[in-house]
Structure 1
Amino acid sequence: MQWKGRRGSSNVEDRRGMGGKTIIGGGLGGLVLLLIFTFLGGDPGELLNNLQTTDSDNSVPYEETEQERELSQFVSVVLADTEEVWTEIFRKEGLVYEEPTLVLYTGSVQSACGVSGSSAGPFYCPGDQKLYIDLSFYDELQRNFQAPGDFAMAYVIAHEVGHHVQTLLGTSEKIMPLRQRLSEEEFNKYLVRFELQADYLAGVWAHHAQGMNLLEEGDLEEALNAASAVGDDTIQKKARGYVVPESFTHGTSEQRKRWFYKGFRSGNLDGGDTFNARDL
């Protein structure tokens, strides 16, 4: 991706080295929201293991490595690109795009949705309209998911921005209350459609990034590979050796890749209604 020397976003909050103030037992609702908006999903046990029991306000200033400095600049540029694209798309729809904040953190972080450890992966919290990313995820994406490349990471950011778009359009507000009325298995079906729509929206952004001549050879393949690598079936098979379809919350590898590519080809909000799509 062509990004070096380009404008970064002013909506980046750097909390690296600060840790997170924990609220042990601070409300199941908050944890559930966090899990819903976690990029890779995850179980409550894993999340709770990452909660800290100390206040890290006295931590020393964070010293980033050269790789981290470059990554922080990269995600800032990608965020700026999403701001430009979604501002224009919203304008054409007669709407106003409210830019989200991207929070960089290390280890653990406090959000309006609760406290999360870095192993939970990047996530978006609708309560404060912020994206949260530990840059170490870039290495994990390459090492554990075999999804290398800067545009693979750009896809991750665009997916979380997609959740922000869903919040602004009112989709999140309609879907999340269903959890109180449905069984876990039934609600998971809605979550899959919710996450696939975020993949579609990430593809919409990538379409416009291509139109801005920002994509390089192989970038689209990197994003598609990343979308496939984080499919529920792929993750579960790797972790357990088998899959449990009724527990899927983000969609299969094939579905995630297909909906991203659909958004990439479309470039607009039309065609992204995963909730009424017969064939996911």
Structure 2
Amino acid sequence: MRLKGVRGSRNIEDRRRSGGAGGKAGIGGVGLLIILAIGYFAGIDVSPLLDGATSSQAVTPRELTAEEEKAAQFSSRVLTTTEDVWTDLFADQLDAEYQPPILVLYSGVTQSPCGGASGATGPFYCPSDEKAYLDTDFFATLSRQLGARGDFAAAYVIAHEVAHHVQNELGILEQVNAARQKASQTEANALTVRLELQADCLSGVWARQVGGMLEPGDIEEALNAARMIGDDHLQKRAGRVPQPHTFTHGTSAQRARWFATGYKSGKIDSCDTWSVRNP
């Protein structure tokens, strides 16, 4: 993805200098990120595994590595592209004003009004404070451990979390959360899958709008990332037989298909995962 010349977003909250040491004490950075990734995308409760990793300790401020600084610059510039795209699309397609989210960069574990990373594992969006949360070490895990390589795969992760903010701006998250509270666990999971697939589709819409920044192979990187973090694939990776009633993000095929749908259309209304019988 060509980001040279793209300004960095002002909507960044970097907590990494004051965090991470205590959160990684029990398991270790790479091991923790793998657990968080599998738990987040496969819908597995990993809280017991994190008990030893989230012990509170005095944290000494630290300097960021060159790799961490690079990840922050990348994330900030990708966030800027989402701000520009959604501002334009809200105005053009919805006749509405877009209010962008804050992107919180953290290391290991962090806290939010929606809970800690042990409860909302991996990258996540919290509608209560309208912030997206990202441990930039996740980029390495995505590439090296989950097989989703390339800078556009990492950009897709950011775009997906921002898409949840778009859903929040449109009132979709509130409606779905209300419906989930009245549903059985299986029904609630099915609603969550539709929500996540819509976020994948909205990520595709964003990708279409930044087409001038794309390099050969970028869309393939995003599609591969979508497949690598499908519920069925990750449950197999965790040594489990895929259980569709536990899915919370959708299968590899579903995730790739909905991203492609958004990319091909470039339209917000193409991302209606609620009206179709089998998303």
Q: TM-score, normalised by structure 2?
A: 0.88
Deviation string 1:173-201 (CA, Å, 9 cap, x unpaired) is 10012222111011111110000000000
Further displaced range: 100-109 or 59-68? 59-68
Match of 1:167 in 2: 168
Q: Which runs of 5+ in 2 are unaligned?
A: 24-35
Q: What do you get for the CA RMSD once the two structures are aligned? A: 2.2
Deviation string 1:244-267 (CA, Å, 9 cap, x unpaired) is 111000000000000001000111
Deviation string 1:12-39 (CA, Å, 9 cap, x unpaired) is 00000433899xxxxxxxxxxxx9xx96
d(CA) in 2 for partners of 1:152 and 1:14? 22
1:116 deviates by 1.1
- For 1:92-171, list aligned pairs within 5 A: 92=92, 93-117=94-118, 120-171=121-172
Residue 131 of structure 1 aligns to a residue whose secondary structure is strand
Match of 1:54 in 2: 56
1:62 deviates by 2.7
Match of 1:9 in 2: 9
Asked if the contact 1:41/1:120 (under 8 Å) is kept, the reply is no
d(CA) in 1 for partners of 2:207 and 2:91? 18
Instruction: Tell me if 1:236 matches 2:238.
Output: no
Match of 1:90 in 2: 90
Asked if the contact 1:185/1:247 (under 8 Å) is kept, the reply is yes
1:46 deviates by 2.8
1:55 deviates by 5.9
d(CA) in 2 for partners of 1:227 and 1:238? 15
Match of 2:76 in 1: 76
Between the two proteins, the alignment pairs up a number of residues equal to 262
1:117 deviates by 4.3
Deviation string 1:81-137 (CA, Å, 9 cap, x unpaired) is 000000011112211101100000001101110111499211100011101000110
Percentage identity across aligned positions? 49
Asked if the contact 1:107/1:118 (under 8 Å) is kept, the reply is no
| Counterpart amino acid of residue 254 in structure 2 | Q
Match of 1:65 in 2: 65
d(CA) in 2 for partners of 1:198 and 1:100? 15
- For 1:172-187, list aligned pairs within 5 A: 172-187=173-188
Higher helix share: 2
Deviation string 1:204-262 (CA, Å, 9 cap, x unpaired) is 0000010xx10001100000000110000000011024111110000000000000010
| Counterpart amino acid of residue 271 in structure 1 | S
Counterparts in 2 of 1:194 and 1:42: CA distance versus 1, 3 Å = same
Match of 1:278 in 2: 277
d(CA) in 1 for partners of 2:120 and 2:245? 23
Match of 1:25 in 2: none
